[in-house]
Chain A
C-alpha cells in the first residue's frame, strides 16, 4: 500500500519542480547552452571556418592532394576490415556471454572492456612489443618478409583492438535480457542452429547491432593514439586521416590540416545522424509491436 501511495505522489512532485523561479530556469538553460556552444559547437564551426578560409578552391585542392587521398583510402580500408571483424567477434562474444553459462564468464566480460580501460597508446605499444623488429614474433616475421608494424596490417590490428568492445557492449545487456527461450522454442520447432540465428536471434538484436557498428565505425576511422604508435607516419603509405591531420598541422599547413579535419567532422555528423535514425527506427518498431495493447479482451 505504501508503495502505491508513493507512486501516486511522484507525478505530483514533478510539476512542482517546474514551478522553480523563472530566473533559475533561465540561468540553468543559459549555462547549458553556453557550455554546449563553447565546447561543442564552436570547435565544430571553427574547423569548417579554418578549412574554408582560403576559399573553396584551396579547400578542394587540399583534399585531392595525393597524400591526403592515400590517407582517406587507408582510413576507409582500415574501417572496412576492422568493423566487419568486430561485428562478427562482438556478436560471437555477446552470444557466448549472454546465452551460455561457463567457467570464467566474469573474467571474459572484464576482458572485453580492456581496450576501453587501457590508454590507446599502450595498446599500440603492445603490438609493437609483439610484432616489432625486436618483439616476440619480430625475428620470425622478418625471416618470412612479413611487415606488420609500420605497415597496414599493424594499423588494422591496432584499430580492431581499440574498437573491439563497441559491438559486444551494445549486445550483451540486450541479449542477456532477452534470454534464450525464443531460441529454444525455435529449436524445438525443428529449426537448425543457422536458421534459428537468422530468423530469431538476429531480428531481435538488429537495431542494437547496427548501433554498435555505427559507433565502432566512427571510432575506427577516428582512432589516433594506438594507430600513431604502430603506423610510423610514413607519408603516402601508413598515414590515416587523423595522422595526416597531425602532420599537416605540425608543418604549419593549417588550412590543409583543417580541410582534412573537416572530413572527420563530417563523419562525426553523419554518425550522429545515423545513430539518431537507428534509435528512432528501433523506437518505431517497438511502438508498432507494443501497439494497442490496451483494451484487449480479458
Chain B
C-alpha cells in the first residue's frame, strides 16, 4: 500500500461490538504521519472505544469484538497473529489521568526499556524526558517519587514513559482533561513538537483544544463518523449539519 508510506495508520470499515452493542460503526479514517488528529464528539459516541481499538486495547475487554482492518507499517494489525506486545511498543497510549508507576521519576521511564533488555538506560531516560519537555524540571529529582510531581508533570512523565518504547504512533485519551490551563498549554505545545517524529491521535472533549493543535478533526456521533476534515475547515465551515450543531452548541 503506497498510502502507508505517508500515512501512520489507516482504518477500513472498523466496527467494535460490546456483546450486542454496536459501539463503533464502519469507520474509515486515515491518519497521516507527522500530524495531530483530534477525535471529538459527545460522551458515549464511540471515540474512545475507537481509539482503544487502534492498539488492540479492546482485546482486554471481555465480550468485545472488533472487525475491519487497521493498516499499520504495511500490514493489518487487527489480524489474529499480531504480536500485541510488539504492537503496543509501536503504538503507545497515554490516558486521561496521569498514572505513573509508584516508582522514581527515573524508573518510570527506564522500567520498560530495562524489561526489554535495552542498554544505555541513562541516555534513554534523558532523551525521553527531553522529548516530553520535562527534563529541565526533573533532572535534579530523578530519584524522587514520580508521585511527588505535579499533575501536569506526571502526565508528561507518562508521555516520556511511552516514548521510551520507541513508538511511531501516540494515542492520547483526553490527555489534559485532569490538568490546569498552564499544564494543558505545556502538553499542547509538546504535541506540536512531537508530531515532527510521531503520528498523534487524540480524543478530546475540549473543542478549542482540537481547534488549537490538531491538523485534522473527526466528529463522531452514536458510533458513526459524521465528518472528517482539515481542522481549520471543520471549525469554520463544516459540511454536515450535525457537525455544525455540535460545535456551535446547538445540540440535543
- Do A and B bind? no
Contacts from B to A (Cβ < 8 Å): none
